[in-house]
């Protein structure tokens, strides 16, 4: 696996591959890889003839009070894992390569970023859209794969690519879960043994919500009340949000009339966890 740290070098490598007729599949990450990331990389191997991972903890998507400095990192382990699944190149730019002195240009995607995480993390999506745009210019992929756990991020990137006429196919990959049902995340390592059962309430909440819909409940307020009760009963968790949204626009819905996104963000101790599912209403 090639290791590339310079944007110009990555662009030259991408140009060489493209000239040779290769199809580049790209997985952007912040590192500290887990099985969910590896599944994305395996998908990239299947969908392209050359696969690239980026490993970059992006400072512009962290607020001053968030965990940029303490975000888990293991570059050596990440490179070993990416090599094991057959990734062709790892793009690992330093911060000053991505954001040189005097940097002042950002990408802002409007409406789809205003709800959910956009409410509690107001700079988050500006940072995400900016870094992904820059990574796309460096890696020059034909296709890029994103996990659906960060559903709003996936919708935001799709919107940016469409609006800016980027010739890149964006693919959403299903959530990969641990054996107990917890959605895989680098931040799961923050959880203590006592906090783990509390974290599992998120997946239980998603399942219970689908059961309510299956039983005929369509009122969003009733479903969200049940979700909030399940998440908080027993203590140990603080709900940032639990919302039902249109999966295309990320706007709140009051009545479920088709596939509807149930999105959760919950603090378990000092760890913020997100999860989601598409609730499916069977028409009678």
CA distances, 5 to each of 68, 75, 97, 271 (Å): 20, 13, 8, 31
- Residue 37 catalytic? yes
Among the listed residues 37, 108, 142, 173, the single catalytic one is 37
Q: Which helix (H) or strand (E) holds 276?
A: strand 271-279
The pair of structure tokens assigned to 75 is 């570059």
In terms of residues, how long is the chain? 284
Torsion of CA 156, 161, 163, 166, to 10 degrees: 170
Measured distance between the N- and C-terminal CA atoms of the chain, rounded to whole angstroms: 53
Distance CA 277, CA 281 (A): 13
Backbone angles phi, psi at 142, to 5 degrees: -85, -30
Q: Which residues are catalytic?
A: 37
């Amino acid at each position: 696996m090639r290791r590339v740290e310079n944007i110009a070098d990555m662009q030259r490598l991408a140009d060489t591959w493209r000239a040779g007729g290769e199809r580049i599949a790209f997985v952007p990450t912040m590192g500290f890889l887990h099985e969910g990331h590896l599944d994305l990389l395996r998908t990239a191997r299947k969908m392209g003839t050359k696969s690239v991972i980026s490993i970059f903890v992006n400072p512009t998507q962290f607020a001053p009070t968030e965990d940029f400095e303490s975000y888990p990192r293991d570059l050596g382990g990440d490179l070993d894992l990416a090599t094991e699944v057959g990734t062709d190149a790892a793009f690992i730019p330093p911060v000053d390569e991505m954001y040189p002195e005097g940097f002042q240009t950002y990408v802002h995607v409007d409406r789809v970023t205003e709800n959910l995480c956009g409410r509690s993390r107001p700079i988050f999506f500006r940072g995400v859209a900016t870094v992904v745009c820059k990574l796309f210019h460096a890696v020059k992929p034909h296709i890029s794969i994103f996990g659906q756990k960060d559903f709003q991020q996936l919708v935001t990137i799709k919107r940016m690519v469409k609006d800016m006429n980027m010739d890149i196919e964006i693919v959403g990959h299903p959530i990969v879960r641990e054996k107990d049902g917890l959605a895989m995340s680098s931040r799961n390592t923050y959880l203590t043994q006592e906090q783990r059962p509390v974290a599992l309430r998120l997946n239980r909440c998603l399942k219970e919500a689908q059961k309510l819909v299956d039983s005929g409940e369509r009122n969003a307020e009733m479903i969200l009340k049940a979700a909030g009760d399940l998440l908080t009963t027993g203590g140990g968790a603080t709900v940032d949000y639990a919302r039902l949204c249109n999966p295309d626009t990320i706007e709140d819905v009051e009545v479920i009339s088709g596939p509807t996104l149930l999105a959760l963000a919950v603090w378990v101790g000092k760890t913020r966890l997100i999860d989601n599912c598409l609730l499916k209403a069977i028409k009678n």
